[in-house]
Amino acid sequence: MPKVLKAVAMERCIGCYSCMFACARMVHNALSWSRSGIRVRSRGGLTAGFEANYCLACPKPACSAVCPSGALRERRGGGVRYRRELCLRCGDCARACPVSAIEMDGETGEPVVCLHCGHCVPFCPHGCLAMVEKDHTERQEPVRPLSE
């Protein structure tokens, strides 16, 4: 079974954003953390810690269900695969995501979403992220969207 990204120890996160830069550079070919499929933000205040917002690898992703062109397709094991050449840049996928894990890039108009590739994991200096096998029988953990 394919593995998916999981924030396994966010209590150790120091907010260095190395995972975001790694994703932007290695996956989305950009030098800006605004093009990262994972977004780390402060929970508010110095002692509140950090939270990560990323695709939860839904077994039946709403984003791919509403994609009119098939640019986002369901990935075996959960989550989606993205085909840039098919994307209409309509934003339906971002609006459909129940956890606001898809951002539309202001420059290209393309969706930026975690593809569960794992490129960010080795860049986290404190082991906050991991690639794990997803058990689809487990209940989806409730996640609130990050405030903008």
Question: Three-state SS string across the chain, please?
Answer: CCEEEEECCHHHCCCCCHHHHHHHHHCCCCCCHHHCCCEEEECCCCCCCEEEECCCCCCCCHHHHHCCCCCEEECCCCCEEECHHHCCCCCHHHHHCCCCCCEECCCCCCEECCCCCCCCHHHCCCCCEEEEECCCCCCCCCCCCCCC
Q: Is the pLDDT of residue 137 over 80?
A: no
Structure confidence at residue 54 (pLDDT): 95
Please write the tens of the pLDDT for every residue from 30-81.
888 889 999 999 998 777 899 999 999 988 899 999 999 999 999 888 889 9
Architecture (CATH level 2) of domain 58-101: 2-Layer Sandwich (3.30)
Query: Residue 145: pLDDT above 60?
Result: no
Q: Could you tell me if 4 and 131 are in contact, meaning their C-beta atoms sit under 8 angstroms apart? A: yes
Indicate the burial class of 113 (C-beta count within 10 angstroms; 0-12, 13-18, 19 or more): buried
| Topology annotation, domain 1-54+114-133 | Alpha-Beta Plaits (3.30.70)
Closest CA to 104 of 28, 51, 44, 43: 28
pLDDT of residue 103: 94
Report the pLDDT value the prediction gives residue 59, as an integer from 0 to 100.
85
Q: Is the pTM of this model over 0.75?
A: yes
Distance CA 90, CA 111 (A): 9
Question: Domains of the chain: which residue ranges?
Answer: 1-54+114-133, 58-101
The answer on pLDDT for 138 being more than 70 is no
Q: What is the pLDDT of residue 45?
A: 75
Do 1-54+114-133 and 58-101 agree at the fold level? yes
Q: What is the pLDDT of residue 44?
A: 85
Assigned token pair, 141: 């953990």
Is residue 148's pLDDT more than 50?
no
